[in-house]
Structure 1
Amino acid sequence: MALTTVCDTLAGLLQAEQECAARLYTVLETEHEAIARRDTDALQQAVADKQTLLAQLEASHGRRLQLLQTAGLQVGPEGFDALLAECSGGYGQAELAALWTRTKAALESCQRQNQINGMVLESSRRITHRALSILLGGQAEGSELYNQSGKATTSPFGGNRVIKA
């Protein structure tokens, strides 16, 4: 495959990845809003959409690796940097490098938003676990329950039940 063809193919892959990452970021924002609203239907849809877009990004990454092999370059960051350095023609080196920089930035934004969503979900899970533990007669981690006289008490059933069936 001619170098210009490889470079043009790479440019198309990077452009598609950048667009896919932008859609993924929108889905991650939707997921964040669904978590905040505790909207399980919207959350499930966002997770399904996220999985689809991640699969597309992974497939594109695989095509980039194949492109490196086709060009006879080392598969990995060094080979990719070498390909960027060699590319010229329809997509000049500077334009292709800028496209790669924008694509990486979009993917990094997605990673940060996904981490934020994960932290919010974990916090919500801990709060729910703590509340459930209290309702079922246990004590939440790091908290104590007190009786009317202000003394910490526990029942023979493992805690102070707030509700009984």
Structure 2
Amino acid sequence: MIHLQFRKVHGNEGESEAPKRSAAARKSIGLKAKAERFASRNGSRSPGKSPKGRVPKRTARLESDRTSVASAIAGTRSTAPPRPRSKHFANAVRAYEAAIKLMHAEDFGRAIRSFEDLIAEHSEEPEIQERAKVLIHACEKKLHENER
């Protein structure tokens, strides 16, 4: 901008003094200036200009504090050991999977009977029973939809 004003005032006399720049060089200079203006507006800094001496380095101490606290918390927690699963549970899961396959094959009548058998035979598995009841309801709903 200043260079153009100089030309207007002085003509082409100053042309030989200023070195000619390629379009890429002019563009990069313009982009740098633009970035600096925006950085000053939003308070960010370029990676090369870090505030040295302002923030002391304490990362090693912070990490050691965090790990000691985490290990102390982990040591105080007592989780119940996982229940050993029996063959009876494995049979319940197999029956559940077979009923699910019938449901996905859209054989809802047989799927309902399989889920009901599962509930009757595996009364000691409450999670599987709960899920089977929900799926019985879903199968019944599908049967009623198909009847319409």
Higher relative contact order (CA 8 A, sep 6+): 1
Task: Name which one, 1 or 2, has greater alpha-carbon Rg.
Answer: 2
Query: One fold, TM greater than 0.5?
Result: no
- After TM superposition, the score normalised by the length of structure 2 is 0.32
- After TM superposition, the score normalised by the length of structure 1 is 0.29
